[in-house]
Every structure is written in C-alpha cells, then in structure tokens.
Chain A
Amino acid sequence: MPEHLTASLLIALIGGIVDLDSTATWQFMISQPIVAAPLTGLFLGNLYGEAAAGLKLGLMVGVILQLLWIEQLPLGMNVPPDAALASVLSVALGFISGHSYETYSEREVCYTVALLLAVALGLLGRSLDMFVRRLNTSIDTWVCQKVEDNSLWAIAVGHTLGGVFTFTKAFVFCFLVVWLGVEPLRYFTQTLSFKHGSGFIVVQGLLPAIGFSVLASMVLKTRDEMRLFVGAVIAFTLLPAKIGLGLGAAAVLMYKYRGAGAKK
C-alpha cells in the first residue's frame, strides 16, 4: 500500500475518533486542538519515523488553533467551527507535504500554509456538522413513530446511527482532504519565493496574539482588572520567562480574589 494512502487512512481514522469526542460522545476533550493536533503529529510521525518532529509540529499547531477558537462553544443550537478536524488536517497536510523538504524554512512555510488552510476547513467542517444534525432530525422523527408503535428498540438503533453518521462524516472528509490535498499544497509552497515564504514564519509567530486577544476579552470585565492585567504584563516583560512565575502568579491571584465578584 502506498505510504500516502496509509497516511490518509490513518488520518481519517484519527479524524473520525476525535470528531466523535467533540460533541457526539465522551467529551473528554481529546477533540480540543491542544490534544488532537499533538496526537495526530505523534501517530503520523511514527508512520514516517519522525515521531518527535510530528509531536512538536502538533504542539505548535495545537497552541495556535486552541487560542484562535477558545471562545467557540457548542451551546444549544450553536455549531462552532470544527476545531477538531481543523487540528487533525492542519498537522496532516503540513507534515506530509513538508517532510520531503530539506530546509527548516521550507518546512515551516508548509506548516503555516497548512494551518491557514485548515482554518477554512474548520468552517467547512461546521457545515458538515449541521448536515449531520439535520439527518439526526429525520432519524428522531422516525424513532418517535416507532416508539408510538411500541417498537422500543428503535431508540438504540436511532441513537447509534447518529454516532455512525458523525464518525463517517469525519472519516470521509479527512480521507479526501489528505488524499487530494497534499500535492496541491506542496506545489503551492514550491511556487512561493524564499522572501515571501519567510514572511509566513513571521505570521506564525504573531498568530498567538489573536487568541490572547480573544481570551483577554473573555476574562477582563472591569477597568480595575484591566489595569491589574496591564501591570502584570509589564512585570512579566521585565522578569525572566520562567513557567513557575506564571503558575505562581496564577495561584496567588486565585487565592487573593476568590469569591471577590460573588461578594459584590
């Protein structure tokens, strides 16, 4: 079996399982980009004998997509962009089309272009989700009729079919995108000159700012909090970049302001 076909099938399987987790079943959050993307990178990297490189790419993609869609929630009728499929496809397209390149910058450009493409695919994934939900509505009508006729087994059948639709949708979508998308992506990356290509690496470094903005909009409610926040950012600018400092500051603030809003 050609390597590319094996990789496409592997990605389709990962996509199917991860997409089931996003709303249909479990909701352990393996569908979150910070988990789904490194997981894809690890499996794909193993297939190509570059597990560490795959995992690192997955982590990079996961961070950016997690930040980009952090406020998208599956609440009620709201169907968010399919971040799970976007993560899986971004890593898959970037890794498979980029692994044949010799230089670091060529590979990085490939990863960034795949990432931007995956954002669009995440929006397409949302439309597919809505289609599956419409199919489920038809099943629901069928199940109601069957239960009225005293065929109670229809519940288990109808409910299982919903999960099968979700998995099949993600499986087919991922397979087709990886199977057909790798070569055009590789071709597009080759057409970029080095100068333009390196610009994409700068874009990659700035993209987390968008996610931080979304997160800041979510957590900052009052002017006092904004002042405190700006002060903290300036302090962290001047302090050394140690993870312990970030976590320590979080622990102190969590303790100091516990229940502050609730008391008001």
Chain B
Amino acid sequence: MRTLPHTLLARIAFRSFFLQSSWNYRGMMSMGFLYSISPGIDRLHSPGPAREAAYLRHLEYFNTNPYFASVVMGVTLALEERLSRGEIGEEVIHDTKEGLMTACAAIGDGLFWDSWRPFVAVVALVFAFGNYLLTPLIFLGLYNLPHLYFRFAGIFWGYREGTHVIRSLRQFQFPQIRQSLRYGTMAMLAYLIPNHVNVHTPFLLTNLPLEYFYFGEKVVQGFGALLLVALGTVAYRARVDVLLISFLLMVCALVLYHWGILI
C-alpha cells in the first residue's frame, strides 16, 4: 500500500535538480539528498522523534550520479514508508541506500559522463564546425532527453518497485548502449579530424600545378591532422597534461610559422 501521491513524487524529482547545491567534503550530497526527500519524510513521519531520527539518518554520507539519484530517492521513500509501519528496521534503509547509490553511480557515470556526454558533444561539434548557429540548442535538446527521463521516471520506479528496481534498470542494456555510442563517437571523430584541423603549408602553392592544388591541400591537411592527433594521443596516454600538450603545440606552431613552414 503506497501512500505518497504522484504530485509529491514529482515535486521531489524537481527538488533533485538542486541535489548538489551544498556539495561538501563530509557528506558530499547528503544535505541535497535530505533536502530533496524531506517533503516525503514529512508526509511519512509525524513531527517528533521519528521524523528527527529520519532527518539524522539521511545526513549520512551520500554520493551517486545526479541523474540517477532520483531512483535512490524513490527506493528510500518506499523503505521509509515500510519503516513507519514497523515492517523493517533502520539498518535496512542504511544498507540498501549504500548499495544502491554505488550501483547507480556506476551505471549513471558510465552512461552519462563516459558515453552520452562525449557522444552528444561530438554531434554538436560536427554542427558547430559547419557554422550551424543552432548548435547549442541541438546539444541541449539531445543531451537532456535521457537526463529528464531518468530523473523523473527514476523516482516513480524506485518508489513502486523498491529494492527490485535494479531489475528494471537492467532491461535498458546499458553496456550495449555504451558500446554503440562509443563507435558513433569514433566515426564522427574520424570525420572531424581531416576536415577541421587547419594544417596549411606554402610549399604546395609554389610547387603544385593549380589543378592539383586543392586535392594536394586536402591530402596534406588530412594526413597532417592525423599525424598531429596521433602524437597528441601518444602524449596523452603517456599521462602528459593536456595543458602542457597545448602549450607545446602552440610553441611548435609559432616556430614553424616563423620559419615559413606553416601558414
């Protein structure tokens, strides 16, 4: 028997937009988590020691992926409801929340930070390099579709299914989605490299007949860019800092420009 209305759950999902406002080194997202679910806690526990204990319970360390936090919130509220009826003990809430936040962090970080964000960024870059002025809207629209879906649907799943929610999440086949996104990112990257790294040299202009000039220019740009990216990748994988690589590139480019090799 569930007692929390849908409007209240939607309100909690909305509050989860502010989950990390008070991110700190002790409880991390704990204050944000408690702030988000507090309307539910207030509904489930009457004023007094039970409500105070619930507040203190959720000021413990909490950290997960912000887009999947609402799933944990839904499950937590379902368990708080059972606690208020005396069906379970406090330790069940503690253990479940801890396990679930780790699982959601792994799923969410892998999906959103490691796969979806780079993929959407590369799609946006393809349009941005083509000077499409609506690129930011494409990025925002595409990125936020799954974000808003998981944020709002998550709390309902969590509350409805309780600890069985992991089974529902499994139906999304996240590893397959991530693999697919990685290959998509790779293909667009392969398109961007030869077309949008500007490697130009004056030698072609002086040494190639005009009818071959444009083709020669394209080949030099493509292979020059590939070489540059290969060197950058080797340096990055050797754990050289990105800013140091950028600085070295800048110095090399200025020297080559000064010698008349690059224009």
User: Which B residues between 6 and 59 are near A, CB-CB below 8 angstroms?
Assistant: 17-18, 20-28, 30-32, 34-35, 38, 51-52, 55-56, 59
* CA gap between A69 and B109 in the complex, in Å: 17
User: B195 to chain A: which residues have CB within 8 Å?
Assistant: 236, 241
User: Which A residues between 42 and 94 are near B, CB-CB below 8 angstroms?
Assistant: 52, 55-56, 59, 62-63, 66-71, 73, 75-77
Q: Quick check: A236 and B191 within 8 Å, CB to CB?
A: yes
- Contacts A140-B31, A199-B258 given: A261-B179 contact, CB under 8 Å? yes
Q: Quick check: B131 and A59 within 8 Å, CB to CB?
A: yes
Q: Quick check: B126 and A236 within 8 Å, CB to CB?
A: no
User: A212 to chain B: which residues have CB within 8 Å?
Assistant: 189, 192-193, 197, 225, 229, 232
Q: Quick check: B245 and A76 within 8 Å, CB to CB?
A: no
Count contacts between A and B, CB distance < 8 Å.
319
The SS class assigned to the A binding surface is: helix
A141 interface residue (CB < 8 Å to B): yes
Q: Quick check: A257 and B179 within 8 Å, CB to CB?
A: yes
- How far is the CB of B3 from the nearest CB of chain A, in Å? 21
* CA gap between A32 and B128 in the complex, in Å: 14
The SS class assigned to the B binding surface is: helix
User: A223 to chain B: which residues have CB within 8 Å?
Assistant: none
Residue of B nearest to A137 (CB): B24
Q: Quick check: A140 and B27 within 8 Å, CB to CB?
A: yes
Q: Quick check: B22 and A140 within 8 Å, CB to CB?
A: yes
Number of interface residues of B (CB under 8 A): 103
| Pick from A136, A139, A152: contact of B55, CB under 8 Å | A152
User: A253 to chain B: which residues have CB within 8 Å?
Assistant: 183-184, 186-187
Task: Mark contacts of B44-83 with chain A using CB atoms, 8 A cut-off: 1 yes-contact digit, 0 otherwise.
Answer: 0000000110011001000100110000000000000000
Task: Mark contacts of A219-254 with chain B using CB atoms, 8 A cut-off: 1 yes-contact digit, 0 otherwise.
Answer: 111000100111011111110010101110111111
Number of interface residues of A (CB under 8 A): 107
A161 interface residue (CB < 8 Å to B): yes
Q: Quick check: B140 and A116 within 8 Å, CB to CB?
A: no
The interface stretch among B91-99, B116-124, B159-167, B203-211 is B116-124
- Contacts A28-B144, A249-B187 given: A237-B218 contact, CB under 8 Å? yes
A159-B31, A250-B184, A259-B176 given. 19 additional CB < 8 A pairs? Answer: A30-B140, A35-B140, A76-B28, A160-B21, A209-B229, A210-B246, A212-B192, A214-B242, A216-B229, A216-B232, A218-B118, A218-B185, A233-B190, A237-B194, A237-B218, A241-B195, A249-B191, A250-B187, A262-B176
| Interface residues of A, Cβ cutoff 8 Å to B | 23-30, 32, 34-35, 38-39, 52, 55-56, 59, 62-63, 66-71, 73, 75-77, 116, 119, 123, 133-134, 136-137, 139-141, 143-144, 147-148, 150, 152, 155-156, 158-163, 166, 195-196, 198-200, 202-203, 205-210, 212-221, 225, 228-230, 232-238, 241, 243, 245-247, 249-262
